[in-house]
Amino acid sequence: IMNKSETVVVTGFGPFRQFLTNPSWEAAQGLKLIGLGEKVAVHVKEVPVSYLKTQQIVNNSLCTYVCLLQFAVHLGLARGSSVVILEQTGKNSGYRDRDVCGFCPESHCCIEGGPQKLDSVINMRAVSEHFRRAGMDVIYSRDAGRYLCDFAYYCSLYHGQGRAALIHVPSSGSLASADRLVPLLQALIQAMLEQLEEPSKTREPPFH
């Protein structure tokens, strides 16, 4: 870690319904194996599909690594999707579905009193258009689905001042195979890190 100048924390989710090993966690482990280039330290973390555990992990893991650049990437599974979806926004309220513990926050919120929505500092539309022009199945979204992925994203954007990404990975189609998915995720995250390094060009303000 000492001579790495950037740290990226990549999370994937734990078991959920028929997915005893969640493909999002397999993708995170794949990214750990191939890395994000020699300057970047990659830490991976499995997050249970639980509101409380997710919040604990996001609150803690973002403060653990003190480095020049800290960026969190959350991988979540988009059931039924065959494309990679880059999420721009995390929403604070409207969480009504129970997690794997049968729990749902009473307030239906991530953070009581927090802004209604938070945006990543990364311009996800620009990243997705770049990859789509190169023929990749990557799309852009502003609605992360108000379940654990959206919840983790909002908490992470809140704690990391917008320095986070949520990428929904497909459960079907050719990109559902790790051999094809992981190198694409690597390229996507590297494009995001490049954007972080050139502030004024394509970035949107973090909160609006």
Ligand X SMILES: *[C@@H]1O[C@H](CO)[C@@H](O)[C@H](O)[C@H]1NC(C)=O
Residues designated as active site? 87, 149, 168
Alpha helices in 110-203 (DSSP H): 124-133, 148-159, 178-197, 199-202
Taking residues 34 to 53 in sequence order and writing x for each that binds ligand X by CB under 6 A, - otherwise, the string is: ------------------x-
The letter for the amino acid at 68 is L
Of 198, 188, 207, 155, the residue nearest 69 (C-alpha): 198
Q: How many CA atoms lie within 13 A of 147 on its CB side?
A: 15
Instruction: List b or e across 154-183, with b for residues whose CB sees 16 or more CB atoms inside 10 angstroms.
Output: bbbbbbbebbbbbbbbbbeeebbebeebbe
Whole-number minimum distance, CB 132 to ligand X, in Å?
Answer: 35
Kindly state the smallest distance separating residue 189's Cβ from ligand X, in Å: 25
Determine, following the binding rule CB under 6 A, whether residue 111 of this chain makes contact with ligand X: yes
Report, in Å, the least distance between residue 151 CB and ligand X. 11
Site for ligand X (CB under 6 A): which residue of 59, 161, 172, 202?
59
The residues in 78-107 that bind ligand X, with binding defined as CB under 6 A, are: none
Residue 202 makes contact with ligand X by CB under 6 A: no
* Cβ burial 54-88 (10 Å sphere, 16+ → b, else e): bbebbeebbeeeeeebbbbbbbbbbeebebbbbbb
Of 37, 19, 18, 2, the closest CA to residue 75 belongs to 19
Which window, 31-39, 55-63, 136-144, 161-169, contacts ligand X (CB under 6 A)? Answer: 55-63
- If the CB atoms of residues 59 and 82 are measured against ligand X, the closer one turns out to be 59
Q: Does 56 bind ligand X (CB under 6 A)?
A: yes
**Is position 21 an interface residue for ligand X (rule: CB under 6 A)?**
no
Closest residue by Cα to residue 3 from 51, 43, 53, 38: 38
Check residue 55 for interaction with ligand X (CB under 6 A). yes
CA distance 171 to 108: 27
Nearer to ligand X, 32 or 53 (CB): 53
CB of 103 vs ligand X, minimal distance in Å:
12
109 binds ligand X (CB under 6 A): no
How many positions of this chain bind ligand X (CB under 6 A)? 5
Q: Interface with ligand X by CB under 6 A: which residues? A: 52, 55-56, 59, 111
